[in-house]
Amino acid sequence: MAETGEFSRGWPVVSAAAVGVGLGLSPLPFYTIGVMIPPMLAEFGPMGWAPGDILNALAIYTFGVFIAAPVVGILAQKFGARIIALISIVTFSLAMMALAFNTGSKPLYIFLWLVLAFAGAGTLPITFTRPVAAWFEKNRGIVLGIALIATGVSGALAKFFAQYIVSNPEWHFFNGSGWRSAYILLGLLPLTISLPLSLLSLRDLDDKPASQSRLVKLKLPILGISLLGTLGLGALVWMQVLPLIEANGLRLEYMMAIVFSLLMLLPVLAMIFLDIRKNPPERVDGIAIVLKGMSLGEALKDWRFWLLGICFMPISYAVGAVIPNIERILVAQSFDINEAVGLATLTGLAVLLGRAVGGYLIDRFWAPAVAFAFLASPAIALWLLGQPGLNPTTATIAILMIGFGAGVEYDFMAYIVSKYFGMKSYTAIYGTLYAFFAVGAGLGPSIMSDIADGRGIHFLGANTGLLPGYDWEWTLTSAAIILFISTLPILALGKYRYDREHQDKAKAPPAIAPAGAVKPSEV
CA angle, corner 141, sides to 306 and 23, nearest 5? Answer: 85
Give the span between the Cα atoms of 321 and 112, in whole angstroms.
21
Query: What is the predicted pLDDT for the residue at 251?
Result: 84
By DSSP bridging, strand 504-506 and strand 288-290 are antiparallel
Q: Give the length of the chain.
A: 523
Q: How far apart are CA 479 and CA 316, in angstroms?
A: 10
Which of 405, 422, 407, 428 shows the shortest CA–CA distance to 502? Answer: 422
Cα–Cα distance, 221 to 402 (Å, whole number): 40
What's the CATH fold of domain 10-274+286-512? Growth Hormone; Chain: A; (1.20.1250)
**Is pTM beyond 0.85 here?**
no
Rounded to 10 degrees, the C-alpha dihedral 346/350/352/353 comes to 140
The CB density around residue 332, as the number of other CB atoms within 10 Å, is 17
Domain boundaries, given as residue ranges, for the chain: 10-274+286-512
In angstroms, the CA 413 to CA 433 distance is 8
In Å, how far are 6, 187, 416 from 138, measured between CA atoms? 8, 36, 14
Beta bridge partners of 506: 288
**Paired residues of 174 in beta bridges:** 177
pLDDT (tens digit, 0 to 9) for every residue of the chain, 523 residues total? 344 588 889 999 999 999 999 999 988 998 898 899 999 999 999 998 988 788 788 778 878 888 998 999 999 988 999 999 999 999 999 999 999 999 999 999 999 999 999 999 999 998 999 999 889 888 888 888 888 888 878 988 999 999 999 999 999 999 999 999 999 999 999 999 999 999 999 999 888 899 889 999 999 999 999 999 999 999 999 999 999 899 888 888 889 899 999 999 999 999 999 999 998 876 544 454 567 889 999 999 999 999 999 999 999 899 888 888 888 899 988 888 778 877 887 877 787 788 888 888 888 899 999 989 888 888 999 999 999 989 989 999 999 899 888 877 767 888 899 899 998 888 889 889 988 888 887 788 888 988 988 888 877 667 888 888 888 999 999 999 999 999 999 999 999 988 765 444 444 444 334 344 444 555 5
- CA dist 7 and 18 (Å) reads 14
Using alpha carbons, select from 219, 211, 182, 129 the residue that is nearest to residue 423: 129
- d(Cα 312, Cα 438) in Å, to the nearest integer? 9
* Angle at the Cα of 422 from the Cα atoms of 76 and 489, rounded to 5 degrees: 110
Among candidate residues 376, 324, 328, the one with its CA nearest the CA of residue 486: 376
